[in-house]
């Protein structure tokens, strides 16, 4: 897998994601350097943390940033280890899971999604390398944030858009919308 990601420009051309935002709008987290592991990435993570205000959102800071980062660590670890208890901590019970990667809309509730995770072989069991990466975290207000992340399950490389809400003092995912690409080994 190449390290550069592309985004469609609407006219069939692809652009590097780093070029889709003005340089002034990308704020790097002082505590995490480019190429360092994402939360939960361990020795195999290669996460780059960027905070973007490009679309009118503000960089998440302070306690909100800490809360979203902790939730992302649980998310990455839950997927990698196939740990439903961890995923249950990070997903709001009313969260939705959605994708149209295969041509039609797939929308699941957590009651439908968690058994799928429980039934599949966990990447950790296979000894798969982790590809956890936080691309951006944006705030839409004091209790709402959006994280764009990447991870892998077998030959699938996912780009996840995770919408967070803070409820009862906890940051939880209320919507997971994603796309994946197949990568040949």
Q: pLDDT-derived band of residue 63, with 50, 70 and 90 as boundaries?
A: low
Sign of the Cα pseudo-torsion (52, 58, 63, 69, in order): negative
Q: pLDDT-derived band of residue 131, with 50, 70 and 90 as boundaries?
A: very high
pLDDT of residue 185: 65
pLDDT of residue 64: 79
The average confidence (pLDDT) of the chain is: 76
pLDDT of residue 134: 97
Looking from the CA of 105 toward its CB, the CA atoms found within 13 Å total: 6
Token code pair at residue 75: 């998310």
Higher pLDDT, 64 or 57: 64
pLDDT digits (tens, 9 = 90+) for 70-90: 999 999 999 999 999 999 999
pLDDT of residue 66: 84
pLDDT of residue 170: 95
Does the predicted model carry a pTM greater than 0.85? Answer: no
pLDDT of residue 160: 98
pLDDT digits (tens, 9 = 90+) for 23-45: 222 233 323 223 334 444 443 33
Whose CA is closest to 122, among 179, 151, 83, 159?
Answer: 83
Longest dimension (CA), the chain: 44
């Amino acid at each position: 897998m190449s390290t550069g990601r592309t985004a469609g420009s609407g006219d069939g051309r692809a652009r590097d994601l780093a070029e889709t935002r003005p340089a002034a709008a990308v704020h790097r987290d002082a505590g995490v350097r480019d190429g360092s592991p994402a939360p939960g990435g361990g020795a195999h993570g290669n996460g780059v943390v960027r905070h973007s205000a490009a679309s009118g959102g503000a960089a998440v800071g302070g306690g909100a940033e800490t809360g979203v980062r902790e939730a992302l660590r649980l998310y990455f670890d839950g997927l990698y280890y196939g740990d439903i208890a961890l995923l249950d901590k990070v997903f709001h019970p009313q969260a939705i899971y959605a994708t149209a990667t295969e041509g039609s809309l797939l929308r699941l509730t957590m009651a439908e999604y968690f058994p799928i995770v429980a039934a599949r072989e966990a990447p950790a069991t296979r000894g798969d390398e982790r590809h956890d990466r936080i691309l951006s975290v944006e705030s839409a207000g004091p209790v709402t944030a959006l994280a764009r992340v990447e991870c892998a399950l077998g030959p699938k490389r996912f780009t996840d858009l995770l919408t967070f809400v803070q409820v009862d003092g906890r940051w939880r995912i209320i919507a997971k919308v994603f796309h994946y690409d197949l990568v040949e080994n």
